[in-house]
Structure 1
Amino acid sequence: MTAYRCPQDGTLAETTALTWCCPVCRGPWDLDFEITGTLSPGSLAGRVNSLWRYEEVLPLAAPATTLGEGRTPLVPLTGTVSAKLDFLMPTLSFKDRGAVMLAELARRLNPDRVVADSSGNAGTAVAAYCARAGLPCTVYVPEGTSPGKTEQIRAHGARLETVPGGREATALAARAAADTPGTFYASHVFNPYFLHGTKTYVYELWEDLGGSLPDAIAVPVGNGTLLLGAALATAELLAQGLIERRPALLAVQAEAVSPLATAFRAGADDLPADESPAPTTPTAPTLAEGIAIPRPPRARQILAAVRASGGTFLTVPEERIRGAQLDLAARGLHVETTGAVCWAAVGDWTEGSVVVPLCGAGLKTGLAAPH
């Protein structure tokens, strides 16, 4: 039995409903479902060469919306650091891992409309997979979103709504639209199907490394969807006896917008209560626009996941983000600025093996201009 469950108060809801959040606390859902079998590296031979090869651990199967997403290359950068090239996904970012799950779920529920909010990459991914599924889609983005991303959203046939202010104002506008009857909210934050898509990133690492994982996994963290997916996967692999220990999760934020790193270092379990009026102004400027999230709804879960893994938070200044992007380009890897933050944080890492995701293609934002 698969069901939505609120991690705060235990409220349950059917996944066939269009209820996008817990009706009691308005928080995001988790997903209760049973893994149907145990994986082994040998059992994967001959399977489809996409993330859907891990069907035993996914809440959906036999998708009609797939674009062949997943199975991205893993390449060494140094003796201890390797990079997973998730910018080679169909829409040029790792968000395809979760967006295909949301679009496939929406296709089966057949809503009147789909809405999403994004700083760019999630919006482009949802737009593409909704086009694949034949679903009408509206994507809300903050003003100042990279033109390459907004052009991509429009190219996939989605309606684009530009919201004055920052990322928080955009999320509020999308959530208001999501409350309209007949609307499926393809939220990469509130809907846990997205996290069960992003967890395939770690299953691919496990397969490519011969049934093991690196000592640490570094991930950029804004809303934390890749980190929480990684935490899900490592917990599942450990429970199935497929790994002996969980790797440390290294959560990376830009210094300019680092609310979770601040809370982690203060020993807090959550972000402080927000007593300000509804936000209408942008966050502090940062090259890492994709993780410029001042109040992620899953903050408590993110902090707990990093601590449970024995990991930590790392922050990087703007000049290091730009330098890391240029350095990667000199190595043949042109990624967007948000995708360079983990390399900026762990490029000289010597404490065992670590993998960084290169999350989005450089064509989406271009090279960062010097400050």
Structure 2
Amino acid sequence: MTITTAYVCARCGAGSSVSSLTWRCPECLGPWELDFTAAPVPLASLAGRVGSLWRYEEALPLSDPYCSLGEGRTPLVRLTDTVSAKLDFLMPTLSFKDRGAVMLAELARRLAPRRVIADSSGNAGTAMAAYCARAGLDCTVYVPEGTSPKKLEQIRAHGARLTVVPGDREATALAAREAADEPGTFYASHVFNPYFLHGTKTYVYELWEDLGGRLPDTLVVPVGNGTLLLGAALATSELYAHGLIGSRPALVAVQAEAVAPLAEAFRAGADDVPAPAPMRATLAEGIAIPYPPRARQILRAVRESGGTFLTVTEHQLRAAQLDLAARGLFVESTGVACWAAITAEPREGSVVVPLCGAGAKTGLAAGSRAT
């Protein structure tokens, strides 16, 4: 099946056919971008379209998906007078990663590789396992030791092979990247493959539609590898370029205080993360990334939006999880980071936070107890 888009490297300008299965730029080893220009999405015509993220077909580099599970179109609910939450844990695999995983699985199905591999701290792996099962693809997921048993069970249930890597998330990524260079392998990397970002950008297209053609003043987003934030930046740029919004919202990025290389680089005025951050234990394991490959893009996107970085403590994460549960929303401890941050440091104007993963995936944070 013909793929009309191509990969391009924003760092050095090199390019590659998508069908080559090259997962990063061979010249500078940087992550690919996609040579694709989104067309305007007509707001008035959306009411009669399919009830999934594929309703925004003009903005997506793939169409007519076989492996969709109905992902997207998650509810937006009010938490306070100014803050609303988008319930992205109400997805087929219970996390926002489904937005990008369906794009990667659909792409892989069309390219027909010998096997698909992915690496993850849990949610991206479960999403890829599910969508590869849907697409009939052989899938192996690399995870770090200490990954939630419930997430491992979910990956196995979808029929994917599990490779548990001794060490942390970074060691897992390195092991997967070594395997990704084997012939016939499609590396379904939510970090390096830009198709994933074109999936996560639908989060903002949904907000734009639900809010009647506008966006909130501030989008608060958890950031580890930055896939949701970069997708949000991509969507706001497209909507603004097409004249579909009058201004772009500020992007406020949230990291755990324990592992916050991007927040530290932002505060230092740096354009990149100079070296891997020390890896410390944190309840927000899903965003504990010591050396994000797309750090330059993330820092630039936050600065260009007029946003900032916030960090949250372990105590704040525990408190936020209990607070949301008391409001009827049981969210995993990584997924409450934005609510923890915005509760501690409120923003002026309208704000939307994502609740990215279901609490059923991990249970209540250690040291927390309901009263």
Query: Shorter-chain TM-score: what band?
Result: over 0.9
Q: Distance in 1 between matches of 2:77 and 2:47?
A: 21
Counterpart Cα distance in 1 of 2:20 and 2:105: 15
Question: Normalization by structure 2: what TM-score?
Answer: 0.97
Q: What SS does the corresponding residue of 2:20 show, helix, strand or coil?
A: coil
Equivalences for residues 3-18 of structure 1 within 5 A: 3-18=6-21
Structure 1 residue 34: deviation in Å?
Answer: 2.4
Aligned partner of residue 151 in structure 1, secondary structure? helix
Partner of 1:310 in structure 2? Answer: 306
Match of 1:299 in 2: 295
In the alignment, the residues of structure 2 paired with residue 61 and residue 51 of structure 1 have an alpha-carbon distance, to the nearest angstrom, of 11
Q: CA RMSD in A?
A: 1.2
Letter in 2 for 1:21: R
Alignment of 1:276-287 (within 5 A): 283-287=279-283
**One-letter code of the match for 2:313?**
P
Which one of 44, 52, 55 corresponds to residue 53 of structure 1?
Answer: 55
Q: Does the aligned pair in 2 maintain the 1:154–1:160 contact within 8 Å?
A: yes
Partner of 1:93: 95
Q: Equivalents in 2 of 1:32, 1:263: separation in Å? A: 29
Q: Does 1:342 align with 2:338?
A: yes
Equivalent residue number for residue 354 of structure 1: 351
Aligned counterparts, 1:72-87, within 5 A: 72-87=74-89
Q: Name 2:264's counterpart in structure 1.
A: 262
Equivalent in the alignment of 2:141: 139
Pairwise CA distance, 1:12: 0.6
Q: Is the 8 A contact 2:312 2:341 kept in 1?
A: yes
Match of 1:29 in 2: 32
The 5-angstrom pairing of residues 1-371 of structure 1 reads 1-35=4-38, 37-273=39-275, 283-347=279-343, 349-370=346-367
Q: Is the 8 A contact 2:40 2:239 kept in 1?
A: no
Which residue is 1:279 aligned to? Answer: none
Question: Which letter does structure 2 place at the counterpart of 1:166?
Answer: D
Q: Is the 8 A contact 1:40 1:242 kept in 2?
A: no
Q: How far off its partner does 1:174 sit?
A: 0.2
Q: Deviations over 1:163-219 (max 9, x none)?
A: 001011000000011000000000000000000000000000000000000000001
Runs of 4+ in 1 over 3 A off after TM superposition: none
Unaligned runs of 5+ in 1: 277-281
| Matching residue's letter, 1:353 | S
What's the CA shift for 1:16? 1.5
Residue pair 1:2, 1:34 contacting (<8 A) in 2 also: no
Q: Retained in 2: the 8 A contact 1:93–1:361?
A: yes
CA distance in 2, matches of 1:39, 1:258: 36
More displaced, 166-175 or 39-48?
39-48
Code of the aligned partner of 2:340: A
TM-score normalized by the length of structure 1: 0.97
